Chains A and B, each alone.
Chain A
Amino acid sequence: MKNLKMKMARMEKDLSQIELAKRIGVTRQTIGMIEAGDYNPSLNLCVSICRELGKTLNDLFWEDDKS
Chain B
Amino acid sequence: MNNNFDERQCQEVNSIAKKAFYVMFVISVLSIIVQLVFLNAELMYVMGETLTLLCGGIVYLICSIKKGIFSFKGKSLTLFDNVLGSVVCSGFFSVLYGMIISRKASEDISINRYIGGFFVGISIVCFLVLFIMGKYAEHSQNINEQKYDD
Contact = CB atoms under 8 A, between A and B. Distances in A.
* Interface of A, helix, strand, loop or mixed by DSSP: loop
A54 B108 CA distance: 85
B8 interface: yes
A39 B6 contact: no
Interface string B1-14: 00000111100000
Contacts, number: 19
Interface residues of A, number: 11
Contacts of A25: 6
Contacts of A41: 7-8
Contacts of B6: 25-27, 30
Contacts of A8: none
Given A27-B8, A30-B6, A33-B8, 7 more contacts: A26-B6, A26-B7, A26-B8, A30-B8, A39-B8, A41-B8, A42-B7
Interface of B: 6-9
The 8 closest A-B CB pairs, nearest first, are: A26-B6, A30-B8, A30-B6, A39-B8, A27-B6, A42-B7, A45-B7, A27-B9
